[in-house]
Structure formats: C-alpha cells, structure tokens
Amino acid sequence: MDKLQPTRTAKEAGQEGLKLYSDTKSYEKLKLDLESMYERVIDTCESRLTKPRLSAEDVQACFKSFIEYLRLYQKAEFFYTDTAFEHQDKNEELKRTCFPLVTLN
C-alpha cells in the first residue's frame, strides 16, 4: 500500500502553495477536488462497512481512499498555506483564496 511521505521541503511546499492560492482557478479546482474526494471516501467506506463481514480488500479499499484524500488535503495544510497567508496583503487574489481556508479545514 502507498505510504504518505513528504515529497518536498516546507519551503518548496510554501512556494507551491503561494502559486496555487494566487490563482483563483487553481484554488477553486482544489476546493472541488477536495469535496469530490471526500464524497468518494464516504461512498467507498459506507458501501463496504454495511457488509456483515469485511474482507481484506474492503479494508484496503477504505485505507486507500483515506490516503488519496490525505494526499490532496495536505495542500490545505500549513506547509502550503503559510507563505500564501504571509503574502496576502500584497496580493488581492490571495485575500480572496486564503480567507475561505479558515472554513475549509
């Protein structure tokens, strides 16, 4: 099964986050992707957890969906958002995309 491991430094993640949150289209895509992935996790797990007996494949499918969600969710974590928050006074786009993060998490 896949492991969740950092693939970049905090500084690299911050720069990626700054780019991501500076572009409304990219931010909106992340938001939609997070909502969609969340629903897939719920659907995956609910469809399996209603069974009277879980198989190893059922458990694996649930954990795999959690990992996929967490990979995407990490872009809403502080490694990605801190740099964007620090720059929002200089960038109107960041003001629009960073404020909703408070309710996204």
Computed over every residue of the chain, the mean pLDDT equals 84
Q: Is residue 33 part of a domain?
A: yes
Q: Is residue 81 part of a domain?
A: yes
Q: Is residue 5 part of a domain?
A: no
Q: Is residue 2 part of a domain?
A: no
On the question of pLDDT at 92 being above 90, the answer is no
Query: 31 lies in which domain range?
Result: 10-104
Does the predicted TM-score (pTM) go above 0.85?
Answer: no
Query: What domain count does the chain have?
Result: 1
Per residue in 36-63, pLDDT tens? 999 999 999 999 989 999 999 999 999 9
Q: Is residue 3 part of a domain?
A: no
Radius of gyration of the chain from its Cα atoms, rounded to whole angstroms: 16
Q: Is residue 59 part of a domain?
A: yes
Instruction: Give Cβ neighbours of residue 87 (< 8 Å, ≥ 6 apart).
Output: 18, 22, 94
Q: Is residue 51 part of a domain?
A: yes
CB atoms within 10 A of CB 11: 10
